[in-house]
C-alpha cells in the first residue's frame, strides 16, 4: 500500500490549517460590517461611529503587523497561532457582551477597544502564515498557496453577510457574532497539537517530502532576527515600494470588502435580506480570482522569473479594476453594478499571490518580518480609506468614494514598475541569495 504521506503530503495538511485560520479570521472581521445594519438603530450609533469601529480594527491590525511578524519569526508559528486564537475569541465575546452592561459613550469606547484588540490579535496571521509557507513549500508554489489562502479569506468574507444577517433575524446580532468564534476554538487547539514550524520538526513528514523541500530551496525562518536585520528590512527600497503599492491597492480592497453590504442597502435600495445574498457575489468572485491569480503568478514565476513574472499580473489587473469602479457607479441597473463590482473585486484579488510571493522572494528567511511590513502598508490603506469612505457615504457621496478607488488602483499598478522581486534583502544574520 502506498504511503499516505506521499499521496497527501503533510505540507498540504499544514496548508489546510492555515486556510481554515484565514477563513475564520475574515468571517470574524467582516461580521461587524454586516451587524452594523442592526447596531445603528439598536445602539443609536451613527454611520461614522460604525466607520470608527471598523477603523479601530484596522488600526490595531496595521500597527501590529510588523511586531506580529517579528514575534512569529522569533517564537515560531505553532505557539503564535495559539495566542492569536485565544485573544481573538476573547475580543469577539467582549464585542457581543458589551451592550449587556454598558450604554452610550462607555459602550462605544468598549466596542472600539474590543475591535482594536481584535485587530491586534489577527495582525500576525498572514505574516506568520507566509513564513510557514516559505518553510513548507518549494518556491514555485509560493504564489499558488498565497492565492489559495486568500481564496479562503474571501470565502469567509462571503459567508459573513448571509450567515450574520440570517442569525440576526432569529437570535440577534450579539449571538450571531458569537457563532463566528465558536469554530475557532477547536481549530486553534488542533493546530497546536498537529502544526509545526518547519518540516524537520514534524514526525509525519516522509523522507521524500523532506528531500523535496530541502532540494528546492524552501527557507527556514531566521529566529535570530536582530535589530540590525530589522533596520535593513525597513530601509530596503523593494520592501518599501511593495508596501506602498499594497497600501494603494488596499483602499480598493477595503472599499469592496467592508462597504458593499451598506452600499446595496443605502445606494441601490435593496433590503437587508436581499443584500445578504447579493453581497456574497463580490467576495466569492474575489476568492475565485485569488486562486486563479495565485496559479497564474506561480506559472509566470517559473517561466519569467520573480522580477517579471510577479509584476505582470498587477500591471494588468489593477488598472482594469480601476476602470470597472467607474463603470459600476454609472451603471443604470443595480444588478449590473453588483456584477461589475464582483468582477472588480476578483481582479483586485488576482494580485494577492504576486504581492505575497514577492514578499517571500525579497525576504527569504526573514519573510515574516517583510510580510509584516507589507501588510502594515496594506492596512494603512484601510486606515486611510475607511474614514474617507465613511464620511463620503454618510453624506450620500458613494460615487465619489468609488472614483477615489480608481486613482488608488492605478497608482498601485504603477508602483510595481519600481519593484524588483528578485533582489533579496541583505541582512547580517539571515542574508540569502536572490531568487
Helix then strand count (H, E) for the chain reads: 18, 0
This prediction has a pTM of: 0.80
What kind of architecture, by CATH, is found in domain 10-198+205-418? Up-down Bundle (1.20)
Summarize the confidence of residues 375-387 as an average pLDDT.
Answer: 85
Which pLDDT band, with edges at 50, 70 and 90, does 433 fall under?
Answer: very low
Contact 218, 134 (CB under 8 A): yes
Question: Would you tell me how many other CB atoms lie within 10 Å of the CB of residue 200?
Answer: 12
367: Cβ contacts below 8 Å, ≥ 6 apart: 127, 130, 131, 134, 219, 221, 359, 360
Kindly state the average pLDDT of the residues 53-73: 90
- Most confident listed range (32-36, 267-271, 307-311, 333-337): 307-311
What tens digit of pLDDT does each residue of 205-223 get?
988 888 888 766 566 667 7
What value does the mean pLDDT take over residues 233-260?
90
- Residue 430, pLDDT score: 42
DSSP string of 72-134, one letter each residue: HHHH-HHHHHHHHHHHHHHHHHHHHHHHHH--HHHHHHHHHHHHHHHHHHHTTHHHHHHHHHH
Percent of the chain with pLDDT over 90: 54
Q: Indicate whether 409 pLDDT > 90.
A: yes
What's the pLDDT at 17?
A: 96
Task: Give the distance, in angstroms, between the CA of residue 25 and the centroid of all CA atoms in the same chain.
Answer: 9
Using an 8 Å Cβ cutoff, are 290 and 349 in contact? yes
**What b/e sequence results for 144-170 when a residue is b if at least 16 CB atoms lie within 10 Å of its CB, and e otherwise?**
bbbbbbbbbbbbbbbbbbbbbbebbee
Amino acid at each position: 500500500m502506498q504511503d499516505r504521506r506521499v499521496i497527501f503530503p503533510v505540507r498540504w495538511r499544514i496548508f489546510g490549517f492555515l486556510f481554515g485560520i484565514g477563513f475564520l479570521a475574515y468571517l470574524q472581521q467582516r461580521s461587524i460590517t454586516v451587524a452594523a445594519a442592526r447596531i445603528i438603530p439598536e445602539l443609536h450609533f451613527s454611520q461614522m461611529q460604525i466607520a470608527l469601529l471598523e477603523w479601530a480594527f484596522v488600526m490595531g491590525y496595521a500597527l501590529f503587523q510588523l511586531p506580529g511578524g517579528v514575534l512569529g519569526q522569533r517564537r515560531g508559528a505553532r505557539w503564535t497561532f495559539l495566542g492569536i486564537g485565544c485573544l481573538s475569541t476573547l475580543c469577539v465575546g467582549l464585542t457581543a457582551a458589551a451592550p449587556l452592561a454598558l450604554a452610550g459613550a462607555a459602550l462605544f469606547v468598549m466596542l472600539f477597544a474590543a475591535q482594536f484588540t481584535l485587530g491586534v490579535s489577527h495582525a500576525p496571521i498572514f505574516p506568520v502564515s507566509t513564513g510557514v509557507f516559505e518553510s513548507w513549500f518549494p518556491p514555485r508554489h509560493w504564489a499558488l498557496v498565497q492565492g489559495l489562502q486568500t481564496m479562503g479569506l474571501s470565502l469567509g468574507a462571503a459567508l459573513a453577510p448571509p450567515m450574520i444577517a440570517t442569525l440576526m433575524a432569529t437570535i440577534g446580532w450579539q449571538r450571531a457574532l458569537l457563532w463566528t468564534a465558536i469554530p475557532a476554538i477547536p481549530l486553534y487547539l488542533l493546530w497546536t497539537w498537529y502544526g509545526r514550524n518547519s518540516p524537520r520538526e514534524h514526525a509525519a513528514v516522509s523522507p521524500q517530502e523532506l528531500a523535496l523541500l530541502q532540494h528546492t530551496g524552501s527557507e527556514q525562518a531566521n529566529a535570530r532576527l536582530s535589530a540590525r536585520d530589522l533596520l535593513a528590512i525597513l530601509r530596503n527600497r523593494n520592501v518599501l515600494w511593495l508596501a506602498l503599492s499594497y497600501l494603494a491597492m488596499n483602499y480598493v480592497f477595503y472599499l469592496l470588502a467592508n462597504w458593499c453590504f451598506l452600499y446595496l442597502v443605502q445606494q441601490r435600495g435593496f433590503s437587508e435580506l436581499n443584500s445578504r445574498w447579493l453581497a456574497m457575489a463580490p467576495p466569492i468572485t474575489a476568492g475565485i480570482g485569488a486562486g486563479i491569480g495565485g496559479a497564474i503568478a506561480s506559472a509566470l514565476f517559473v517561466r519569467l522569473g520573480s522580477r517579471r513574472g510577479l509584476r505582470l499580473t498587477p500591471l494588468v489587473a489593477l488598472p482594469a479594476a480601476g476602470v470597472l469602479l467607474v463603470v459600476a457607479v454609472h451603471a443604470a441597473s443595480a444588478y449590473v453594478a453588483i456584477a461589475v463590482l464582483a468582477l472588480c473585486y476578483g481582479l483586485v484579488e488576482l494580485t494577492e499571490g504576486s504581492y505575497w510571493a514577492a514578499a517571500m522572494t525579497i525576504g527569504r528567511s526573514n519573510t515574516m518580518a517583510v510580510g509584516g511590513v507589507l501588510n502594515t502598508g496594506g492596512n494603512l490603506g484601510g486606515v486611510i480609506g475607511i474614514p474617507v469612505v465613511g464620511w463620503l457615504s454618510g453624506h450620500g457621496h458613494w460615487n465619489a468614494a468609488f472614483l477615489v478607488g480608481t486613482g488608488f488602483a492605478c497608482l498601485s499598478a504603477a508602483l510595481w514598475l519600481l519593484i524588483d522581486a528578485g533582489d533579496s534583502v541583505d541582512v547580517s544574520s539571515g542574508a540569502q541569495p536572490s531568487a
